[in-house]
A and B are shown apart, each in its own frame.
Chain A
Amino acid sequence: MTDELITKELRAMIGDEWPPVIYEVDRTGIRMWAQAVGIDDLVYYDEETAQDQGFDRLPAPPGFVGFPRTRPGDPDPGPPIRGLHPDLKRSLNGGTEFEYRSPVLAGDELVATTRIVDIKQRSGSIGRMLLITRETSYRRGDEEVALMRATVINY
């Protein structure tokens, strides 16, 4: 297999950090998320239940790290989902992984920074594709609370 899709420019992007973005975690967002997934554990809805379980504030359900603070017209945070290679205009979500060091809680304002950590070329039923893995670190002050690894397929 050749790596002809991985141009010098693309390779040079590996490791670059995109500008940090604030992710706001709020109670309404937590409840909406839990409800949309179909989670009925009261710990995500009721503060007394959360406190009984040792959380100061409502904890976020698995996978929820809040929403980026944006203004109208702001681009999506982090590297573009597609178009890093001019021949590959379509994209698919390849996979998502979360690592938790500490619970994400309502009221958190997490500082998220994203890097491209890996680019691989593959061939499959959809033709030639790039698998671009991005890693986002979410920090509360000096503490890294969560890490997300997401693979985007460009084809």
Chain B
Amino acid sequence: MTPERQVYIEDVTPGDEIPELVKNCSPRQLVMWAAASRDFYEIHYDVEYARELGLPGLVVHGALKNAFLGHLLQAWVAPLGRITRYGCSYRGMDYPGEDLRCRGKITEVTTHNAEHVAELDIWIENPRGEITTPGSAVVVLPSRTKGTRT
């Protein structure tokens, strides 16, 4: 397999941003997520229930936003790289119908136990430019010069 889109350690420098991923959840996607993750809390699909709790409407699941950041990283490192750690905090709510910009920026590039490691800040930003979901990640990337599979 000769992955043309593969990112190698030689391609990354601290300060670089990785390709952004934009998500915009429909209520249907929230229901699919509820089933796929088995999180059936009603604020994610029952708008009346959500409003009775004082929310403006349906709310995007925190864990779905975590999965979006996982998707962002996976799409970037695939197929030869791998995620060793990633996580985020849920600081602000996000809503269906809004563009959620999933972004990441390299903070450090190191070699650890003969593996090429990139550390990143990752986050989700709402249409008002607010970071609702900040996080960080560590990935292992292949090198152009040695090794094939990480």
Are B79 and A43 in contact, with the CB atoms below 8 A? yes
Q: Which of A2-10, A59-67, A113-121 lies at the interface with chain B?
A: A59-67
The interface size of chain B toward A, counting residues with CB under 8 Å, comes to 33
Are A100 and B82 in contact, with the CB atoms below 8 A? yes
- Residues of chain B from 34 to 86 with CB closer than 8 A to chain A in the complex: 35-38, 62-64, 66-68, 70-71, 73-75, 78-79, 82-86
Are A149 and B87 in contact, with the CB atoms below 8 A? yes
The docked-state distance in angstroms from the alpha carbon of A94 to that of B45 is 20
Q: Contacts A36-B33, A38-B29 hold; do A61 and B85 have CB atoms under 8 A apart?
A: no
Are B88 and A41 in contact, with the CB atoms below 8 A? no
Are B67 and A98 in contact, with the CB atoms below 8 A? no
Q: Contacts A35-B36, A37-B68, A93-B62 hold; do A62 and B83 have CB atoms under 8 A apart?
A: yes
Residue B90 lies at the interface, judged by CB distance under 8 Å to chain A = yes
Residue A141 lies at the interface, judged by CB distance under 8 Å to chain B = no
Task: For B83, list chain A residues within 8 Å (CB).
Answer: 62, 98, 100
Q: Contacts A37-B64, A54-B149, A94-B90 hold; do A62 and B85 have CB atoms under 8 A apart?
A: no
Are A98 and B74 in contact, with the CB atoms below 8 A? no
Q: Contacts A36-B35, A92-B90, A96-B88 hold; do A53 and B1 have CB atoms under 8 A apart?
A: yes
Are B67 and A61 in contact, with the CB atoms below 8 A? yes
- Chain B positions 112 through 142: 1 when the CB is less than 8 Å from some CB of chain A, otherwise 0: 0000000000000000000000010000000
Between A and B, 19 residue pairs with Cβ closer than 8 Å are A29-B36, A32-B36, A35-B32, A36-B32, A36-B35, A36-B36, A38-B29, A39-B71, A41-B75, A43-B78, A53-B1, A62-B67, A92-B90, A94-B89, A95-B62, A97-B85, A97-B87, A97-B135, A103-B82
Say how far A126's CB is from chain B's closest CB, in angstroms: 12
Task: Report which A residues bind B (CB closer than 8 A).
Answer: 29, 32-33, 35-39, 41, 43, 52-54, 61-64, 67, 92-101, 103, 149, 151
Q: Which residue of B lies closest to A70 (CB)?
A: B38
Task: For B1, list chain A residues within 8 Å (CB).
Answer: 52-53
Say how far B23's CB is from chain A's closest CB, in angstroms: 7
Q: Contacts A63-B67, A93-B63 hold; do A39 and B88 have CB atoms under 8 A apart?
A: no
The docked-state distance in angstroms from the alpha carbon of A53 to that of B97 is 35
Task: For B23, list chain A residues within 8 Å (CB).
Answer: 38
Task: For B88, list chain A residues within 8 Å (CB).
Answer: 95-97
